[in-house]
Amino acid sequence: MAILTIGQNICIENAVVLAPMEDVTEPPFRQICKEFGADIVYTEFISSEALFRGVEKSKRKIEFSEKERPIGVQIFGSNDEPMVESAKIVESYSPDIIDINFGCWVKNVVKNNAGAAMLKDPPRMQDLTKKVVDAVKLPVTVKTRLGWSRQTIVICDVAKRLEDAGISALTIHCRTREEGHKGKADWSWISKVKESVSIPIILNGDVKSAFDVKRAFEETGCDAVMIGRAAIGNPFVFREAKEYLTTGKVLPPPSIEKRIQICLKHLKLNIEYKGLSKGIIEFRKFYPSYLRDLPNSSKIRAKLNISVSFDEIQTLLLDYQKELVDSDFDLYECWQMSSEINQTME
């Protein structure tokens, strides 16, 4: 059994954690994932430069509620002073972890030498990390990738350097910067990194189901598993994974009623957090995942995507739910097929 220890306060068996995701891991979604068993949640990445300049929108991204704990707040940047000062600002909100993003692959971030660009200069990554670690009392963790490209994988060196810099855990998205989100995540690097350092290693990349979570722990000896895209519209994956890890029981998929209920709950929380108009409009990106694999869902999505009224959205979803429940659609059969496919792939 894996035990993830970070700092004095975090000690979790078989930890399954929610990945930081921009515009996704905001308080409403974090709260829902927590309810379904996510052991740690993270904010989206927050610009250290913006925090340093006191930009209100960025400061708001640090906010969280007590029920989300343990929570990590993620910052990114490449300059000493903004990184150190923004870490101190984050610390004043008392999260459980300050996480540094050295993995973001997008052009606008790497062109400023932040995110995955640091993989081109491990000594600089180490130096900047040490400055942040030394500036705060909270545990500092890092999330990064294997390297800039397949030809320049530096993760073992980077892990040693970051351990020396004093970080409390390292999350590895098992792809390179050049791969972005394409190709298959290469988990084989996790056991190699585990041989070279003693800090906890959190595996990330292509973990899509409870089966994947168990396989990740067993195949790599990682200390925790982080789930990103597979949790979007599917927070149930955390409960399924925790149950499978602890009892070996495979939970059936959530019923259609449950999926619609959680979708509406998420929408309500989003409206509370952002206000009616923004809360509804910015929620539209979640419908495809909550309604994934359901019949004729494109028709209902087209209507949901133009609605600006919570009551109307609720009626649309509940009518759709009734239509599915009254029809012959067999969610259980659909789930059995996909879980058989998953097991064959194990």
* Distance in Å, CB of 315 to ligand FMN, minimum: 29
Q: Which x/- pattern over 62-81 shows residues binding ligand FMN (rule: CB under 6 A)?
A: ------------x-------
Q: Is 235 in the site for ligand FMN (CB under 6 A)?
A: no
Q: Contacts with ligand FMN in 134-173 (CB under 6 A)?
A: 143, 173
Contacts 24+ apart (CB under 8 A), 109-118: 109/76, 110/177, 112/77, 112/78, 113/78, 114/76, 114/77, 114/78, 115/45, 115/76, 116/144, 116/145, 116/148, 116/177, 117/78, 117/177, 118/78, 118/144
Q: Which of 229, 265, 274, 284 touches ligand FMN by CB under 6 A? A: 229
Q: Which of 28, 122, 200, 228 touches ligand FMN by CB under 6 A? A: 228
Stretch that binds ligand FMN, among 56-64, 83-91, 202-210, 256-264 (CB under 6 A): 202-210
Q: Is 24 in the site for ligand FMN (CB under 6 A)?
A: yes
Q: Is 204 in the site for ligand FMN (CB under 6 A)?
A: yes
Q: Which positions are annotated as active-site residues?
A: 104
Q: Is 224 in the site for ligand FMN (CB under 6 A)?
A: no
* Distance in Å, CB of 172 to ligand FMN, minimum: 9
Q: Is 176 in the site for ligand FMN (CB under 6 A)?
A: no
Q: Is 45 in the site for ligand FMN (CB under 6 A)?
A: yes
Q: Which of 44, 96, 179, 240 touches ligand FMN by CB under 6 A? A: 44
Q: Which of 193, 207, 256, 313 touches ligand FMN by CB under 6 A? A: 207
Q: Which of 227, 271, 294, 313 touches ligand FMN by CB under 6 A? A: 227
* Distance in Å, CB of 239 to ligand FMN, minimum: 17
* Distance in Å, CB of 134 to ligand FMN, minimum: 22
Q: Which residue is nearest to ligand FMN (CB)?
A: 228
Number of residues that bind ligand FMN (CB under 6 A): 21
Q: Is 206 in the site for ligand FMN (CB under 6 A)?
A: yes
* Distance in Å, CB of 285 to ligand FMN, minimum: 9
Enumerate binding residues for ligand FMN (CB under 6 A). 19-22, 24, 44-45, 74, 101, 103-104, 143, 173, 204-207, 227-230
